[in-house]
Structure 1
Amino acid sequence: MNLTRRGLVVAGAAAAAWPASFSGARAQAANTIKIGVLNDQSGTYRDLSGPGSTICVRQAIAELGSLGFNVEVVQADHQNRPDVGSTIARTWFDRDGVDAILDVPTSSVALAVAGIAREKNKVYLNSGAASSDLTGPACSPNTVHWTYDTWMLAKGTGGAMVRAGGDSWFFITADYAFGHALERDTANFVRAAGGRVLGSVRTPFPGTTDFSSYLVQAQSSRAKVIGLANAGADTINSIKQAAEFGLTRRGVKLAGLLVFITDVHSLGLQTAQGLVLTETFYWDLNDRTRALTQRVRANMPGNQPPTMVQAGCYSAALHYLKAVKEMGVAAAKASGADAVTRMKAMPTDDDAFGAGAIRPDGRKLHPAYLFEVKQPSESRGAWDYYKLLQTVTAEEAFRPLADGACPIVRG
């Protein structure tokens, strides 16, 4: 009888404690903003995105100090597959209480995640994917396209190559949404400038490592410029194999339409020297970019400086959390679209991109920069790879609002 009574007392105490514990957990969750960093953690885009993006998000949180609410960060590998990325996004939103997803390189995955974020009324801050469709036909009140896009890259690098005499082009294009958009946007600039597109070939993604047959087709076209509408390891392999074939020695120009500083590092200056490319962030651009790099670099993989994608994750997280603080956690969690609206109403300013703004179509505006990769003799040391050729203003760098066909923008 005593055992039974004791058991009842213990059970009663546990039952009494459980609601208080559960209530405390619920209160903590209600006062927590949960950010999911979704990207390539193991494949083609790991170095330019991957763990470094998560580190940069955590840096933004640390710099904001006491916000009056908690911030939790989770990360996952989408393996550059739309089905995997979609499953993770739905699980995060439906089960795990994630309020905002950041990064998401690979445009096919990005477009899928944008649709899910809109369906679930959550926040999606894209830094890694390039397709300009994210602020065009696929724009959403829940999405901000933060760092760069295919229109910007096409105008910057493509336009510069045509002005320099590269008036005939052949494209080697990664066969998914990003590659298609980059080829399309660049071809439009080439033709508008009086140039010609002599052909293109599409390469399987992911998984292509041998670009020899595609380079032979490009050479056979007799185009002055081979446009590489790819990224990451695909770009690195394309440039290396083009050098082995001696294409540049024969006068053919390579247009790396999306080249990151990590790609240049992998190639080495001996191979990459002279490449013209467009980026929106370079660690050694000015005092603010150098200061950010100094704060984050010790935690970065291989002690590398941030890429523009990783810097974009820092900048986007910083601005989002400022908006949450201004509007309140409850309101931000209740409606991702309202949180994005608040972000659009606030000017942006940070050490990655300086002052900027977010347009009604979700396009984040900041300057872009045309760089040339230095010769080995010009470099002062590790990661000193770029010299600035031209600065493109925020207003000129991205597609005009009226030309995007974004359905949420009223004409």
Structure 2
Amino acid sequence: MRKSLIASLAFLLASSTAVLADGASDGKVKIGILNDQSGVYADFGGKSSVEAAKMAVEDFGGKVLGVPVEIVDADHQNKPDIASNIARQWYDTEQVDAIMELTTSSVALAVQAIAKEKKKIDIVTGAATTDLTGKACSPYGFHWAYDTHALAVGTGGALVKQGGDSWFFLTADYAFGYSLEQQTSDFVKANGGKVVGSVRHPLSNQDFSSFLLQAQSSGAKVIGLANAGLDTSNAIKQAAEFGITQGGQHLAALLFTLAEVHGLGLDAAQGLTLTEGYYWNLDDKSREFGKKFFARTGKMPNMIHAGTYSAVLQYLKAIDKAGTDDTDAVAKQLHELPVDDVFGRGGTVGPNGRMIHDMYLLQVKKPADSKEPWDYFNVLATIPGKEAYIDPAKSGCTVTN
């Protein structure tokens, strides 16, 4: 009888282990949203990205494979060391299955390296560098909302075609800024334009006067702002004080979203050309999502918020399709499943982890042309995903999936 009991217990244990392997390994699925919640990019993504993630979980039904889905979040303060410590703690001791958003390229690169080491999923929606799906790519890393190449194709390419054939760059002094400047410069030169100079400024800079004077004296037709968040807003405000646009030079906000336009106001932002992967007033589907988001946050979503919603939703779809939260199985489904939601319409994921989707070339309306609150953009063009993003075969990624 004792031998029979031991055999029965062994069988039950083996059966239980098999079930766990095929389902959720620890009885839940836990997703971490790690981003800037108090600094220069707090409006860019911030707590609103956390709400977008929660919306995705709720719209999926709150559970996957019969277990609850939990969202946790933290502020990385735009510091790779802080972000790395949080990521290791989440992965090692808090049973976090995937980390997402990851505003700031230096942070995203650091966390993606840890995710690769720990064999965990990361999906970047807030950072821009193409290195994430290039030389720093990972079999478990995905880049969702936009990147520097897509921004360069959109804003950079459009302005050169409109006659802005000489450029001077104000560039944020870290990986994102370098990448955005380089790729926009390449598009300017490829279209017959030239770059007459550039200057780098620290992240979270307050005084742009010396940088703007250099740009003004360069005589460039276009001053490319290769920065983001409050840095871009502050540069635009101070450029107005120097009379730069009144003097005939054009400001190109290479990474600027609805959130920053709202903070700056139409009086200051009117006429700016920019590129986003989502606009809430694009069509009925976008407006429906935008209004749901507004009811929770008091603001309309930009491409980071909508992209985070899409990334969380697709991750849950991948787990459901795989029948397990095993990293390799989920990564396989993330590469194979089409993306079709309010953000990624007809999107596909390349072997390097880049989600390929359409982008939109936008121009900020004049105050008189805005018909309702948050009605800020005219859509100038749709940029097909295959034009916006680097061909995965040419991305520099050596990972095969």
Q: TM-score range by the shorter chain?
A: over 0.9
Q: How does 1:4-403 map to 2 (within 5 A)?
A: 30-65=26-61, 66-67=63-64, 68-205=66-203, 207-300=204-297, 303-329=298-324, 332=325, 334-335=326-327, 337-403=328-394
Matched residue of 1:242: which SS? helix
Matched residue of 1:348: which SS? coil
**How much has 1:29 moved relative to structure 2?**
7.0
Q: Is the 8 A contact 1:122 1:142 kept in 2?
A: yes
**How much has 1:409 moved relative to structure 2?**
4.4
Corresponding letter in the other structure for 1:367: D
Corresponding letter in the other structure for 1:324: I
Matched residue of 1:349: which SS? coil
- CA distance in 2 between partners of 1:218 and 1:296 (Å): 39
CA deviation string 1:326-359 (max 9, x = no partner)? 2123xx2x32x43122111111111223221111
Q: Is the 8 A contact 2:348 2:355 kept in 1?
A: yes
- CA distance in 1 between partners of 2:166 and 2:220 (Å): 5
Corresponding letter in the other structure for 1:51: K
Question: Match of 1:9?
Answer: none
Question: Match of 2:10?
Answer: none
- CA distance in 2 between partners of 1:364 and 1:288 (Å): 20
Q: Is the 8 A contact 2:293 2:299 kept in 1?
A: no
Q: Is the 8 A contact 2:338 2:349 kept in 1?
A: yes
- CA distance in 2 between partners of 1:338 and 1:150 (Å): 29
- CA distance in 1 between partners of 2:169 and 2:78 (Å): 22
- CA distance in 1 between partners of 2:395 and 2:164 (Å): 27
- CA distance in 1 between partners of 2:108 and 2:82 (Å): 12
Q: Is the 8 A contact 1:292 1:352 kept in 2?
A: no
- CA distance in 2 between partners of 1:409 and 1:230 (Å): 32
Q: Is the 8 A contact 1:199 1:221 kept in 2?
A: yes
Q: How many residues align?
A: 379
**How much has 1:296 moved relative to structure 2?**
2.2
Q: Is the 8 A contact 1:288 1:352 kept in 2?
A: no
How does the TM-score come out when normalised to structure 1?
Answer: 0.90
Matched residue of 2:251: which SS? strand
Corresponding letter in the other structure for 1:396: E
Question: Match of 2:17?
Answer: none
Matched residue of 1:133: which SS? helix
Matched residue of 1:250: which SS? coil
Corresponding letter in the other structure for 2:93: R
Corresponding letter in the other structure for 1:100: A
Q: Is the 8 A contact 1:41 1:51 kept in 2?
A: yes
- CA distance in 2 between partners of 1:258 and 1:283 (Å): 17
**How much has 1:403 moved relative to structure 2?**
2.0
Corresponding letter in the other structure for 1:299: R
How does the TM-score come out when normalised to structure 2?
Answer: 0.92
CA deviation string 1:280-338 (max 9, x = no partner)? 001111111111112222111xx101111011110000010011112123xx2x32x43
- CA distance in 1 between partners of 2:82 and 2:174 (Å): 16
Corresponding letter in the other structure for 1:202: R
Higher-Rg member (1/2): 1
Question: Match of 1:18?
Answer: none
- CA distance in 1 between partners of 2:394 and 2:218 (Å): 32
- Unaligned 5+ segments in structure 1 are 1-25
Matched residue of 2:340: which SS? strand
Question: Match of 2:3?
Answer: none
Corresponding letter in the other structure for 1:233: L
CA deviation string 1:98-138 (max 9, x = no partner)? 00001001000000001000000000010000001111111
- CA distance in 2 between partners of 1:338 and 1:182 (Å): 33
Percentage identity across paired residues of the two chains: 51
Matched residue of 1:350: which SS? coil
Question: Match of 1:17?
Answer: none
- Unaligned 5+ segments in structure 2 are 1-19
**How much has 1:174 moved relative to structure 2?**
0.3
Matched residue of 2:246: which SS? helix
Q: Is the 8 A contact 1:144 1:340 kept in 2?
A: no
Question: Match of 2:398?
Answer: 407
- CA distance in 2 between partners of 1:296 and 1:353 (Å): 17
**How much has 1:28 moved relative to structure 2?**
8.8
